[in-house]
Amino acid sequence: MATVRIENLGIEYEGETGWNLLECDLLREVDHPHDCGGNCACSTCKVAVILGGENLSPQGEDERDTLDAYGWDPDAFRLACQCVIQGGGEIVIRLPDPE
């Protein structure tokens, strides 16, 4: 388990190891956009990881390609549907302002 904090929403919860951030957010009824259903096919679930990136799965080529295709810097953003919690500790993310 990891402590997940969504900085700009003031939400904090314990996230399950092996689950991605989007799954954890939706389980807790966080209003987290996800137009493609969490299939790495859009960029609506993008987040900025402020702290604790080492507790998440590494960014894969598909994730980088999707972010790039939608005009988001893959070095600045992650797709919540692809960020699997892999370790304990604290993870701090920020959801971008609605477009």
Strands (E) located in the chain: 2-6, 11-15, 46-51, 78-79, 90-94
What pairing do the DSSP bridges indicate for beta strands 2-6 and 90-94?
parallel
What is this structure's pTM?
0.94
Give residue-wise pLDDT tens across range 41-62: 999 999 999 999 999 999 999 9
Give the residue among 71, 59, 72 at the shortest CA–CA distance from 20.
59
Phi/psi of residue 23, nearest 5 degrees: -55, -45
Give residue-wise pLDDT tens across range 54-89: 999 999 999 999 999 999 999 999 999 999 999 899
Percent of the chain with pLDDT over 90: 94
Set out the domains of the chain in order of their start, with CATH numbers.
Answer: 2-94 (3.10.20.30)
